[in-house]
C-alpha cells in the first residue's frame, strides 16, 4: 500500500511555497472499453511514454487568506486552478492546518490539442506543487482521484511509467501489463498540420458487446507483447486501436500514414485518440532499422506530414529532432493554447 502522504520535519510548515512537475505522453497505444475485475465496463487506455516535455508548477500559499482566493498564471488554466483548490482542501486536512488561498504559476512546453496529456500534466504538477507547499507527498492514487475531480478524466501521468491499462474517467489502474514496453523506435509526426483538436468535443459513442470483446482481445495481445518483448505484436495492437479511432477522428492522412508504414518496414502506427500526434513504430532488433527510419522520414515529407522527433520507448534517447523547447506556454483556452510548434514538439 502506498502511503497517502508523509509529513516533513516539524517546523517545515512555515515554508508556504511548493513546486511540482509532471511529464506528458505521445498519445495512446490502446484505448477502448474494457472489463474490470468485477466484470464492469470501464473506459480505459494505455499511453505511450515520452521523455522531455512536461509541466512545471509553483504554488505559493498565503496563510490567513480565504481558501477561495486562488490565482493562476496564466489565468486560463482553469482545470489546474480547480485542481489547486481541491488539493489545498485535501492537504490542509492532512497537515492539520487551516486551508488558505495562494498563487499558482505554470510553465511548460507541451503542445496543446495534440492528445499528449497537456491538461493532465498541468493538473498533476499543480497537485504536487500544492502538496509540496504543505510539505506533503501524495500517493498516485490520491493524485489520480483529485485529477479526475478537476478535469473529469485524466491520463496515468502520476504513475511510475510502467505500462498500465488505466481507467481515465475513474482514475484507477485496471491492470499493470508488465514492467516495461518492448523496445521501439518511434518516428513522431503531427496529423492535420498539427492543428489542435478540441478533445471535449469528441463524441463518446456506446460500445457494443462485440466492441468490448474486440477491446479485450487487443488487451490480451498487448499483455502478451509486453510479457514477451514482442515489438511486432505491440505494433499490431496499436494499429488496430488507431484504425478504430479513425472512425471518429477521420484524419485525412490515415491511409497515407499506414501505407508508408508498411512500405518502410514499420511494425505499426499509433495515433492519439483525442488529438493529432502520431507515431510510426519500428523494431530496433530488425537489421537496417536506421535505414528504414530515414526512409520513413522521407516518406512523411513527401506526403506533407510534418515529422516531429524520433525517440525510443525504453530510454530518454532522442534519435532525431529535439524532444522539446523550453519556455512558458502562451495563454489561450484550455484546449487551444497554441498550435504545435513544428517540426519539433
**CATH code assigned at 272:** 3.30.230.10
Measured CA distances, 341 to 12, 307, 319, 326, 332 (Å):
41, 11, 18, 12, 15
Which pLDDT does position 321 carry in this prediction? 58
pLDDT tens figures, 69-78: 999 999 999 9
Instruction: Give the structural domain span for 124.
Output: 12-320
Does residue 48 belong to any structural domain of this protein? yes
pLDDT band at 320 (very low <50, low <70, confident <90, very high): low
What is the arithmetic mean of pLDDT over 283-302? 97
Q: By CB neighbour count within 10 A (0-12 exposed, 13-18 middle, 19+ buried), where does 280 fall?
A: buried
Does residue 342 belong to any structural domain of this protein? no
Does residue 327 belong to any structural domain of this protein? no
- Count of structural domains within the chain: 1
Q: Is the predicted pLDDT of residue 223 greater than 70, yes or no? A: yes
What is the C-alpha to C-alpha distance for residues 107 and 274, in angstroms, rounded to an integer? 23
pLDDT tens figures, 53-62: 899 999 999 9
Does residue 7 belong to any structural domain of this protein? no
Closest of 210, 259, 264, 209 to residue 239, by C-alpha: 259
What is the C-alpha to C-alpha distance for residues 25 and 33, in angstroms, rounded to an integer? 20
What is the C-alpha to C-alpha distance for residues 144 and 337, in angstroms, rounded to an integer? 24
Which pLDDT does position 11 carry in this prediction? 43
In the predicted model, what is the mean pLDDT of the chain?
Answer: 87
Q: Is the predicted pLDDT of residue 128 greater than 80, yes or no? A: yes
Which pLDDT does position 166 carry in this prediction? 98
Which pLDDT does position 334 carry in this prediction? 38
Q: Which cell goes with 170?
A: 475513474
Does residue 5 belong to any structural domain of this protein? no
Those residues with Cβ within 8 angstroms of residue 63's Cβ, 6 or more apart along the chain or in another chain: 16, 97, 98, 100
Q: Is the predicted pLDDT of residue 301 greater than 60, yes or no? A: yes
Those residues with Cβ within 8 angstroms of residue 298's Cβ, 6 or more apart along the chain or in another chain: none
Does residue 67 belong to any structural domain of this protein? yes
Amino acid at each position: 500500500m502506498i502511503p497517502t502522504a508523509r509529513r516533513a520535519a516539524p517546523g517545515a510548515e512555515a515554508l508556504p511555497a511548493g513546486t511540482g512537475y509532471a511529464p506528458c505522453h505521445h498519445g495512446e497505444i490502446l484505448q477502448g472499453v474494457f472489463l474490470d475485475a468485477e466484470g464492469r465496463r470501464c473506459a480505459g487506455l494505455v499511453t505511450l511514454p515520452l521523455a522531455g516535455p512536461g509541466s512545471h508548477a509553483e504554488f505559493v500559499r498565503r496563510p490567513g487568506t480565504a481558501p477561495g482566493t486562488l490565482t493562476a498564471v496564466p489565468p486560463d488554466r482553469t482545470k489546474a486552478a480547480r485542481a489547486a483548490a481541491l488539493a489545498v482542501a485535501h492537504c490542509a486536512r492532512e497537515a492539520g492546518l487551516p486551508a488558505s488561498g495562494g498563487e499558482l504559476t505554470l510553465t511548460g512546453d507541451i503542445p496543446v490539442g495534440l492528445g499528449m496529456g497537456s491538461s493532465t500534466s498541468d493538473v498533476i504538477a499543480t497537485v504536487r506543487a500544492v502538496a509540496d507547499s504543505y510539505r506533503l507527498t501524495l500517493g498516485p492514487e490520491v493524485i489520480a482521484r483529485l485529477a479526475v475531480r478537476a478535469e473529469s478524466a485524466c491520463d496515468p501521468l502520476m504513475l511510475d511509467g510502467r505500462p498500465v491499462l488505466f481507467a481515465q474517467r475513474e482514475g484507477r489502474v485496471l491492470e499493470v501489463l508488465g514492467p516495461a514496453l518492448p523496445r521501439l523506435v518511434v518516428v513522431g509526426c503531427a496529423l492535420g498540420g498539427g492543428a489542435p483538436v478540441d478533445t471535449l468535443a469528441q463524441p463518446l459513442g456506446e460500445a457494443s458487446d462485440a466492441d468490448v470483446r474486440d477491446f479485450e482481445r487487443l488487451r490480451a495481445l498487448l499483455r502478451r507483447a509486453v510479457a514477451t518483448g514482442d515489438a511486432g505484436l505491440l505494433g499490431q495492437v496499436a494499429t488496430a486501436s488507431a484504425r478504430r479511432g479513425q472512425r471518429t477522428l477521420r484524419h485525412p492522412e490515415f491511409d497515407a500514414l499506414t501505407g508508408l508504414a508498411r512500405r518502410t518496414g514499420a511494425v505499426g502506427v499509433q495515433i492519439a485518440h483525442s488529438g493529432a500526434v502520431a507515431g510510426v513504430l519500428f523494431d530496433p532488433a530488425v537489421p537496417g532499422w536506421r535505414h528504414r527510419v530515414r526512409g520513413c522520414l522521407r516518406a512523411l515529407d513527401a506526403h506533407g506530414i510534418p515529422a516531429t522527433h524520433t525517440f525510443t520507448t525504453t530510454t530518454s534517447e532522442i534519435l532525431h529532432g529535439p524532444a522539446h523547447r523550453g519556455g512558458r506556454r502562451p495563454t489561450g483556452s484550455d484546449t487551444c493554447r497554441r498550435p504545435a510548434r513544428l517540426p519539433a514538439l
